[in-house]
Amino acid sequence: MVRKLKYHEKKLLKKVDFINWEVDNNVSELRVLRKYRVDRREDYTTYNKLSRSVRELAHKIKDLDEKDAFRAQSTSRLLEKLYALGLIHSKQSLQLCDTVSASAFCRRRLPTVMVRLRMVPNLSTAITFIEQGHVRVGAEVVTDPAYLLTRNMEDFITWVDSSKIKRHVMEYNEERDDFDLGA
């Protein structure tokens, strides 16, 4: 036996359509956002659009004639760019372009690379350090956690010279020089 609905419950049920209920299939999206600590959903949608366009481009190149010189040139250029960006692990074939996803772009974000290089213990610490201005890539101080890195740029991730973190690391490694750090 079900009880009779109250007035306000009836009013609420008039606004909800249980027959044509739309389900948000964003479970994988939320999983990626949580796993890589992506704060802005716009970044995720941008990564999703980019990955979709890469896959579409790869399918268009696959549809070309196999003996066409343009196809070979386009394939090599696309694979070279994707490999340099770090979105694919090798330059073997266009089949690897199907593995490019939004999470592949998230793996190339600066905080994720810092965790992988063991500069920081976790993503939230990496994001905090980046936002506070403790990290530089090459000569440029980076304050945006959504900064995407190429394979070549990974080697140039360092602490800012005036950073307390750099001072602490150098003291721990017994490499601190008072002249270099200015105190």
Which residues span the domain enclosing 56? 27-105
> Residues 97, 79: one domain?
yes
- Give the mean pLDDT of 148-153: 95
Structure tokens of 4? 């009779």
Place of tokens 């270099």: 180
Does any domain span residue 164?
A: yes
Q: Three-state DSSP class for 60? A: helix
> Residues 83, 96: one domain?
yes
* Residues 64-100 as b or e (16 or more Cβ within 10 Å = b): eeeeeeebeebbeebbeebbebbbbeeeeebebbeeb
pLDDT tens sequence across 4-63: 889 988 888 887 777 776 666 678 888 999 999 999 989 999 999 999 999 999 999 999
pLDDT higher than 90, residue 177: no
Does any domain span residue 20?
A: no
Task: Determine the pLDDT at residue 180.
Answer: 59
